[in-house]
């Protein structure tokens, strides 16, 4: 249900991490792990199922918006999750920027 804007004390800019700021170049992450990273948590942090659902809700659109800078690996098992990581060009840009 929508809420009136004046029901909130404050609003914040909707800024999200760039993939190169969030991911380690040599690692691939699942959607729940990405959700944790977006909230400043370790990818393996323990969270309750309700929190995990919210984190996934944040992670899915982030992956879609940043798809040009990501790669995806097929699940390791038939019913397992997919894994996402930095595309080579995004990693190269990060390396160039830090040089």
Residue with tokens 């309700």: 50
Q: What's the average model confidence in pLDDT over 36-50?
A: 95
**Residue 21 predicted with pLDDT over 50:** yes
Alpha carbons 86 and 1: distance in angstroms, whole number: 36
pLDDT in tens, 72-93: 999 999 999 999 999 999 987 5
User: The domain at 18-98 falls in which architecture?
Assistant: Orthogonal Bundle (1.10)
Domain ranges across the chain: 18-98
Task: Give the percent of the chain with pLDDT over 90.
Answer: 82
SS3 97: helix
């Amino acid at each position: 249900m929508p809420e009136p804007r004046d029901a909130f004390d404050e609003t914040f800019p909707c800024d999200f991490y760039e993939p190169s700021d969030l991911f380690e170049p040599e690692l691939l992450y699942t959607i729940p792990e990405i959700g944790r990273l977006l909230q400043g948590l370790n990818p393996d942090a323990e969270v309750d199922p309700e929190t995990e659902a919210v984190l996934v809700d944040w992670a899915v659109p982030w992956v879609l918006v940043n798809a040009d800078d990501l790669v995806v690996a097929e699940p390791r098992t038939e019913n397992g999750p997919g894994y996402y990581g930095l595309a080579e060009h995004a990693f190269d840009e990060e390396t160039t920027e830090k040089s």
